[in-house]
Structure 1
């Protein structure tokens, strides 16, 4: 294609970035969810997958749509993309991005972490991460639940290809939205392999001191909301010897305060530590310093913490629900997340058996090799080449 400039443009000002040469077709990507300082699952997915796509040696040129101008070093320094910053006060996707699609459409559009705009190319791809609101409607305010249902239904109806994070999510989409199975592709996400790996003893001690943690401890990571099943985890943990403490790492979500109150009612305040959101660079040592990682969630579209714990060399106890066995594979010991006695028994078994812990660590390390962002990016590009 012809020579063009990588640029960031707004209606009121324009800044020009270095000259590059376009290659072949243009893939537009909604990168708005990637630009956040405190990413949770879907935001991290968006950022990591975009980075991997830009690093591929492919015959595509990428156009990244953002609400604001990202720092110059935010995305990889590769010559195969441009940034199109298009600020807008409200309804950015359905008004401003839709207008962009009308006036300057790419050859294909990929929406990794949100919803397709009302106007979009025929060749559009959208990722549906999970349908948790269908299984746990009370975990979402009514208007939020209605919007989640609308946006998923819209994506499934209008996208030429729908990406699902797991076979479990694909099956849910087929069940609840009567979607043709052949239009849904399962593309596994990955984890941040540059960050999540075993930590040195000095780093573990630094993080333990920073957060004033008691050892030995058990860790569980995820936004505090009902579907994460922390209430049952507290009940199971209360049966363990007092030498153990429980560290729950997660941003405050729907009904978080009821969980804090429950911990106080159970007289667990001195044994349970809620850390809220912590910087990603501290998480590996938090995992690595734990005797056991527990993922008791009732529903997950994928479940990044399972892979993160395995990558950091921590034994994993995991719910046998939704996508989690598919993700954690042979590298976890499983329990029924609705059975408090079973959760307790599994934790006790792992904590009391060093050989079992070592086996889980080794199997977890092998399991994470199945996942990579490069592989996910290659599968997205493969889909686009069929258009």
Structure 2
């Protein structure tokens, strides 16, 4: 038997966002596609009930510790167990470790330092440098992230395997349109068409410019709402104030975290999904929106063109007028909306967690 240890601590988080969802999905897919001679040993810090359904080949070790869990629990336990390899799906390699493969999702703190506290930037810089040096192989979630690691950290490109993310089976056009109406009603979105953003509310997501673009669109006579669905992150307060400063606070809805079960209906009911982020390691919300049939407006930079292909309207995220023009174009052109929906559905089908897991497993087995 070949034993692969996995840091599964991110997969047990109650409210999963980017890296947590990746951890959950890639672990589940690895368990589905690995050959019979492979077994997995998952290390967690509580929350066993939030792991995905797994086969009997997956053993779970719950090693609880309030602080420094990675270095004081995960690392020593895996080192003593002598696996073929330890897989760390989210950034930090333990100080003491067996042969390790680590996934680096992005280096947004380098591109957009003002979105982080000085302490957090230092922490991310130190842990990323350590993980890149300590790991036998690095997984990057996009070609854009691979380029960043090569350009900024001098990583040998031969050490990096690109493993594009997949799409959860939970995302697709709802079969029942009444469900879409019910979810819209629950969030108070039946009055007007709405633009939808899903993700953490933070400066890197470029939401202040989206709000400014909405103000331009409303001033031109359009009748729309903007729904910002996601947890409030650091420096979210200036984003919320911007809507009030422009006099459109009643047209911008901050919903907070939205349960996964509501997302497909919210996406399917949107006039468009808007995601002109300033930097993304991958940008999985773009795929999720496409899979649910929402026309997508996204950014021309970082990994987003790589993910969107020809299935979205790409805009300069620094140009408020370009964002506003894209919104008005989608609003006015039903043929364009239909075309973006069809292209998006086809594009989303190209990204699966099984394909991500297969590339991941090949990298793990090579060590």
Q: Is the 8 A contact 2:92 2:127 kept in 1?
A: yes
Alpha-carbon displacement from aligned partner over 1:45-87 (angstroms, at most 9, x marks no partner):
000000111112413110000112512x833241211001111
Distance in 1, Cα, partners of 2:200 & 2:54: 32
The ranges of structure 1 where at least 4 consecutive aligned residues each deviate by more than 6 angstroms after the TM superposition are none
Partner of 2:331: 351
Q: Among 205, 208, 214, which residue is 1:237 paired with? A: 214
Q: Among 300, 311, 332, which residue is 1:331 paired with? A: 311
Using the size of structure 1 for normalisation, the TM-score is 0.91
The yes-or-no answer on 1:204 pairing with 2:180 is yes
Q: Compute the displacement of 1:90 (Å).
A: 1.4
Alpha-carbon displacement from aligned partner over 1:165-191 (angstroms, at most 9, x marks no partner):
100000001111110000011000112
Three-state SS of the structure 2 residue aligned to 1:185 is strand
Q: Is the 8 A contact 1:222 1:250 kept in 2?
A: yes
The yes-or-no answer on 1:166 pairing with 2:142 is yes
Q: Compute the displacement of 1:375 (Å).
A: 0.8
Partner of 2:252: 272
Q: Among 26, 29, 32, which residue is 1:52 paired with? A: 29
Bigger mean CA offset, 195-204 vs 174-183: 195-204
Distance in 1, Cα, partners of 2:53 & 2:230: 28
Alpha-carbon displacement from aligned partner over 1:349-372 (angstroms, at most 9, x marks no partner):
111000011111111011011100
Q: Among 328, 346, 351, which residue is 1:371 paired with? A: 351
Stretches of structure 1 that go unaligned for 5 or more consecutive residues are: 1-23
Three-state SS of the structure 2 residue aligned to 1:381 is helix
Distance in 2, Cα, partners of 1:62 & 1:347: 47
Using the size of structure 2 for normalisation, the TM-score is 0.96
The yes-or-no answer on 1:61 pairing with 2:47 is no
Three-state SS of the structure 2 residue aligned to 1:238 is helix
Three-state SS of the structure 1 residue aligned to 2:82 is coil
Distance in 2, Cα, partners of 1:196 & 1:131: 30
CA RMSD of aligned residues (A): 1.3
Three-state SS of the structure 1 residue aligned to 2:48 is coil
The yes-or-no answer on 1:82 pairing with 2:62 is no
Distance in 2, Cα, partners of 1:74 & 1:254: 28
Q: Among 120, 126, 145, which residue is 1:144 paired with? A: 120
Q: Among 228, 232, 244, which residue is 1:252 paired with? A: 232
Distance in 2, Cα, partners of 1:384 & 1:242: 52
Partner of 2:287: 307
Distance in 1, Cα, partners of 2:321 & 2:283: 23
More helix by share: 2
Stretches of structure 2 that go unaligned for 5 or more consecutive residues are: none
User: Number of aligned pairs?
Assistant: 362
Three-state SS of the structure 1 residue aligned to 2:349 is helix
Distance in 1, Cα, partners of 2:91 & 2:175: 34
Distance in 2, Cα, partners of 1:75 & 1:278: 20
Q: Among 184, 191, 205, which residue is 2:167 paired with? A: 191
